[in-house]
Amino acid sequence: MKHFLFLLFLFSNSLYPVLSQSNLLETVKKYPNEARNLCKKFREFNSKGISANSDIAIEYVSNQKKLTPVNAEIFSIYVIGLHCPDIT
């Protein structure tokens, strides 16, 4: 029984990142204007020679959205893929 509970605990923790990524994608879909505003910021970064995948851009998203750096990077990828594929 201990082993079963331990495996259940491990499995439930492993689902959390998957669920949070799904929530990030839903956020991008629900608030397209917010995503487009972020595209504008990414274009500003690009005009200064800064990639949207750079630490500076990810830190910006992380601070703005109150996300961990990993989730901020995932969020950025979703925004770029759905709303501003021209961003580098």
> Integer distance in angstroms from the first to the last C-alpha of the chain?
51
Mean pLDDT (10-residue bins), the chain, 88 residues: 49 47 82 94 97 96 93 93 91
The predicted pLDDT at position 21 comes to 61
Q: CA–CA separation, 44 vs 62, rounded Å?
A: 17
Please write down the HEC assignment for all residues of 31-59.
CHHHHHHHHHHHHHHHHCCCCCCCHHHHH
The predicted pLDDT at position 19 comes to 41
